[in-house]
Amino acid sequence: MLRIPHEGEGTAPLVIPQEPIDSTQNERKDPRDDRRSRSKRKKKTKEGETPDWEASAGTWRSKKNKNARALRTVAIWTTVITTIFGSAYFLFKEKNAKASVENKAEQKEITNTPLLLPDEELDESIELPKIMRRSQSEFLSLARPNAEKFLAATRVDQILPLVRDSEKMRAKIYTYYPNGKIHATAISKFNVSGQVSYKDSFAAVSILTTDFKVVQLAFFDDKDGLKIDWESWVGWSEMPWDQIIETKPQRPILIRAKLRTVDYYNFGFADDSKWRAYRLSSPDGAHTLYGYIERNSLLDERLRPPEKSASSAVTLKIRFPEGKENRNQVVIHDMVADGWVLPET
């Protein structure tokens, strides 16, 4: 309702005052701004995985804790690995130091040991046989031509210049080859074993002949060069074996034989507590004798092969005992050589 103002009052407003209008509410909003705002909120929601601030703060704290645990794990493993390698290095260093001390002690001991004995403690100098003073290759180069000539010879006069002690051997060789003719052969392979055998003052080489026999040639080195030992080559005996068995000499005679231990005790050699029995075969294997020696005597110790079944080449002196019943039993009187090569005299 309107009233008339009294004297002194101001004129009342003719309209109802209105509240101030927020200009921002009347402004038209760009819909794209809403989309961008929603997009940003979605991204934040996606990054935090929860829409509220407390969830986002919790995620941040979780990531921080994980990083701290990872750093602690790396630190622990680094400490462990460093400790292991440090311990290994310490043990290795200590071991090397100990070995070094031992080596120094050993070197000191070696240094204190004289390399040469005093002259008064030395034995007399040993002179090698002349045959051993050559190298093996040099020996073989000289021995082969002699071996080829020796085996290819068809007459006695052809081998005499090649044999050892030819003047002493002349009569024996002509007796062995009554008509002076020799059955020749040839070498199929020289030095079959691939090595030279040295013994005493001679050297021996294995040879395969063209008639498929493996034989050995013994060489001596004298003033005229290498010479072949003829007696060992043919297995020479003082008498032919068939003549020995027939005549039964009771004096000691020299024979070359193949020897082997046997259990044959009969007739005058029936007591095996007194005698030891050996089978003696001729070099060509055609004849056999049974030799007996007093058991456990010095001669028995020298003659006995290292193995009972082993066969060895020996040079012996044998004799027949008295009595006609001993057809092929002999007494071993002496052992001249271990093998068929006689030592130098």
Lowest-confidence region among 6-10, 36-40, 204-208 = 36-40
Q: Which residue has the tokens 């055998």?
A: 197
Shared domain check, 247 and 230: no
The answer, yes or no, to whether residue 135 has pLDDT greater than 60, is: yes
Instruction: Work out the pLDDT band at 128, boundaries 50, 70, 90.
Output: low
What is the predicted pLDDT for the residue at 173? 96
Name the domain boundary from 184, 199, 234.
Answer: 234
The whole domain housing 223 covers: 130-234
Is residue 34 in a domain? no
CATH code of the domain in which 200 resides: 3.10.450
In the chain, count H helices and then E strands: 9, 10
Q: How many CB atoms lie within 10 A of CB 240?
A: 14
Q: Could you give the C-alpha distances from 167 to 150, 161, 172, 213, in angstroms and in order? A: 17, 9, 10, 29
Instruction: Work out the pLDDT band at 11, boundaries 50, 70, 90.
Output: low
What is the predicted pLDDT for the residue at 90? 64
Shared domain check, 289 and 247: yes
Give the containing element (helix H, strand E) for 77: helix 53-112
What is the predicted pLDDT for the residue at 119? 42
Is residue 102 in a domain? no
Tell me which long-range contacts 157-162 makes (C-beta under 8 A, separation of at least 24): 158/182, 159/230, 162/227, 162/228
Is residue 187 in a domain? yes
**Cα 22 from chain centroid (whole Å):** 109
Q: Which residue has the tokens 């927020």?
A: 22
Mean pLDDT for 331-335 is 96
Cα–Cα distance measured from residue 340 to residue 236, given in angstroms and rounded to the nearest whole number: 9
pLDDT in tens, 89-114: 666 666 665 555 455 544 444 334 34
Is residue 219 in a domain? yes
Instruction: For residue 130, report the phi and psi dihedrals to the nearest 5 degrees.
Output: -60, -35
Is residue 157 in a domain? yes
Name the domain boundary from 175, 205, 234.
Answer: 234
pLDDT in tens, 241-292: 999 999 999 999 999 999 999 999 998 899 999 999 999 999 999 999 999 9
Tokens for 25? Answer: 């509410």
Cα–Cα distance measured from residue 27 to residue 45, given in angstroms and rounded to the nearest whole number: 29
The answer, yes or no, to whether residue 340 has pLDDT greater than 70, is: yes
Better pLDDT: 314 or 323? 314
Cα–Cα distance measured from residue 198 to residue 130, given in angstroms and rounded to the nearest whole number: 11
Shared domain check, 248 and 226: no
Is residue 80 in a domain? no
Instruction: Work out the pLDDT band at 238, boundaries 50, 70, 90.
Output: very high
Better pLDDT: 22 or 316? 316
The answer, yes or no, to whether residue 57 has pLDDT greater than 70, is: no
The answer, yes or no, to whether residue 35 has pLDDT greater than 60, is: no
What is the predicted pLDDT for the residue at 132? 76
Type of residue at 26? N
Q: Which residue has the tokens 């020299």?
A: 254
Over pLDDT 70: what percentage of the chain?
66
Better pLDDT: 336 or 193? 336
Per the structure, how many domains does the chain have?
2
Task: Return the SS3 of 342.
Answer: coil
Q: How many residues are there in the chain?
A: 345
What is the predicted pLDDT for the residue at 297? 93
Instruction: Work out the pLDDT band at 200, boundaries 50, 70, 90.
Output: confident
Name the domain boundary from 208, 234, 260.
Answer: 234
CB 212 within 8 A of CB 295: no
Shared domain check, 182 and 159: yes
CATH code of the domain in which 265 resides: 2.40.50.140
